[in-house]
């Protein structure tokens, strides 16, 4: 007979040092991928390169999420869990250093590492099966183990197939990794994530990525030849970070039952956006991009970032769910795009307009928190 247990969203759990260490290397892999794949040719980045970057980002992101879901639901700071995490970290380092602009050259080491990592994740879930005390936990653990094993097999099989068809099992694995858990949603809802811990993991990972973007930005600053535009470039990153900080720390209701899938995909959008923004900022300083493409790349990445933030409105406290902030934010970004296009060729105008739009969006969310604080006091 099953005994009742405390729901995960009421349990206290914080990110361990081994998790944060793993996140550092994961961010290195994501940013290395953006720098290697997103190359400029003739003032633009081809749609083919963007597609490769997005596909590989999705593969890595889903993998990180499956590992994080294990740590969130079942993981503890035990010798076994730490060893698995360090092993995965070791493989991830090799994957990071095996990325090339030529995808054929990247294919073998990438899918070899993906196969090994998913096999490791499958083993972790499988080893925990006998420790589960509830049917929903058992089914959830079993589902993740099966999906991870299938993805591992498909990834490794793709390595021995002819070049003409070796992409098929690889991309089929990506599809299964993304959708394979849907049939088990009933049990996943009965075995909810610890939302507080999950939000902490996503937010810490995103903060590290923001740090990478800031490092990329500061690399183009010059003390000898200071330019006023540096202030607005810095403001773009800081205002995006401020918006993310305000939303994550003060708007999300951490005491709710969820399976966490939405949080996975919204943060995928956010972090792909930051990777593209980082590349756009670096390329803009060297004037490798055509002015129109740069405007589209900057605004497109920022829009993608905001879409990720806006979708998470469903997680907000009821009194903070204000649709008008989404509408105002979208209008501000559209106005910035129109102004930038009108003054096409004047890069400073684009940077200033984006910085102002982002800052106003951040202030909107700050104002929203202040309103809630006043209502609570009353």
Query: What average pLDDT does the structure give for the chain?
Result: 85
Q: How many of the other CB atoms lie within 10 Å of CB of 337? A: 21
Residues 6+ apart with CB under 8 A from 14: 197, 200
Please compute the mean of the pLDDT values over residues 25-33 and round it to a whole number: 83
Q: Report the pLDDT value the prediction gives residue 122, as an integer from 0 to 100.
A: 95
pLDDT of residue 7: 55
Alpha-carbon distance of 299 to 283, in angstroms, equals 15
Average pLDDT over residues 51-59: 85
pLDDT of residue 3: 46
Helices 229-246, 347-377: crossing angle, 10 deg rounding: 30
Q: Provide the token pair at 299.
A: 């605004």
The dihedrals phi and psi of 160, each to the nearest 5 degrees, come to -105, 0
Query: With pLDDT > 70 as the criterion, what percentage of the chain qualifies?
Result: 93
Lowest mean pLDDT among 29-33, 64-68, 336-340: 29-33
Question: Model confidence over 215-264: pLDDT tens digits?
Answer: 888 877 777 778 888 889 899 999 999 999 999 988 888 888 888 889 99
Pick the most confident of 74-83, 140-149, 315-324.
140-149
Better-predicted residue by pLDDT, 325 or 2: 325
Q: Which of 52-66, 111-125, 325-339 has the lowest mean pLDDT?
A: 52-66
* 359 or 44: which leads in pLDDT: 359
pTM of the predicted protein model: 0.88
For the ranges 18-32, 35-49, 115-129, 217-231, the lowest mean pLDDT is seen at 35-49
pLDDT in tens, 157-171: 999 988 888 889 988
Answer yes or no: is pLDDT of 56 > 70: yes
What is the mean pLDDT of the segment spanning 292-320? Answer: 90
Min mean pLDDT across 3-7, 57-61, 166-170, 355-359 is at 3-7
pLDDT of residue 153: 95
pLDDT in tens, 101-133: 777 788 888 899 999 999 999 999 999 888 887
Write down the pLDDT at residue 148: 94
Q: Domain residues of the chain, as ranges?
A: 14-190, 195-373
Per-residue pLDDT of 183-214, as tens digits, reads 888 888 888 888 888 999 999 999 999 988 88
Q: Report d(CA 171, CA 74) in Å as an integer.
A: 29
Give per-residue pLDDT as tens, 335-376: 999 999 998 888 889 999 999 999 999 998 888 776 665 555
At residue 215, the pLDDT reads 84
- H/E/C letters for each residue in the chain? CCCCCCCHHHCCCCCCHHHHHHHHHHHHHHHHHHHHHCCCECCECCHHHHHHHHHHHHHHHHHHHHHHHHHHHCCCCCHHHHHHHHHHHHHHHHHHCCCCCCHHHHHHHHHHHHHHHHHHHHHHHHHHHHHCCCHHHHHHHHHHHHHHHHHHHHHHHCCCCCCCCCHHHHHHHHHHHHHCCHHHHHHHHHCCCCHHHHHHHHHHHHHHHHHHHHHHHHCCCCCCCCCCHHHHHHHHHHHHHHHHHHHHHHHECCCCCCCCHHHHHHHHHHHHHHHHHHHHHHHHHCCCCCHHHHHHHHHHHHHHHHHHHHHHHHHECHHHCCHHHHHHHHHHHHHHHHHHHHCCCCHHHHHHHHHHHHHHHHHHHHHHHHHHHHHHHC
More confident residue, 13 or 264: 264
d(CA 202, CA 284): 29
């Amino acid at each position: 007979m099953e005994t009742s247990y405390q729901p995960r969203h009421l349990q206290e759990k914080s990110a361990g040092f081994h998790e944060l260490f793993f996140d550092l290397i994961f961010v290195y892999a994501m940013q290395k991928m953006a720098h290697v794949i997103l190359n400029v040719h003739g003032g633009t980045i081809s749609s083919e390169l963007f597609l490769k970057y997005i596909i590989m980002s999705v593969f890595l992101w889903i993998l990180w999420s499956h590992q994080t879901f294990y740590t969130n639901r079942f993981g503890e700071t035990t010798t076994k869990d730490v060893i698995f995490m360090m092993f995965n970290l070791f493989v991830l380092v090799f994957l990071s250093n095996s990325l090339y602009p030529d995808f054929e050259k990247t294919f073998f080491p990438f899918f070899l590492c993906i196969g090994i990592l998913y096999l490791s994740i499958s083993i972790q879930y499988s080893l925990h099966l006998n420790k589960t005390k509830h049917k929903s936990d058992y089914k959830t653990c079993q589902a993740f183990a099966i999906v991870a094993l299938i993805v591992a097999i498909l990834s490794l099989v793709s390595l021995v197939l002819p070049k003409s068809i070796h992409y098929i099992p690889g991309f089929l694995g990506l599809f299964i990794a993304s959708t394979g858990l849907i049939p088990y949603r009933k049990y996943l809802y009965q075995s909810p994530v610890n939302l507080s811990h999950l939000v902490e993991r996503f937010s810490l990972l995103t903060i590290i990525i923001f740090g990478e973007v800031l490092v990329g930005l500061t690399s183009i600053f010059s003390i000898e030849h200071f330019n006023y535009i540096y202030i607005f470039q810095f403001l773009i990153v800081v205002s995006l970070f401020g918006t993310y900080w305000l939303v994550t720390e003060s708007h999300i209701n951490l005491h709710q039952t969820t399976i966490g899938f939405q949080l996975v995909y919204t943060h995928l959008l956010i972090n792909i956006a930051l990777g593209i923004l980082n590349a756009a900022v670096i390329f803009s300083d060297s004037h490798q991009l055509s002015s129109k493409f740069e405007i589209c790349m900057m605004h497109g990445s920022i829009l993608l970032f905001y879409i990720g933030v806006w979708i998470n409105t469903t997680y907000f406290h009821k009194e903070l769910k204000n649709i008008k902030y989404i509408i105002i934010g979208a209008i501000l970004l559209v106005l910035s795009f129109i102004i930038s296009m009108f003054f096409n060729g004047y890069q400073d105008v684009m940077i200033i307009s984006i910085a102002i739009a982002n800052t106003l969006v951040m202030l909107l969310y700050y104002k929203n928190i202040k309103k809630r604080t006043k209502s609570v006091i009353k």
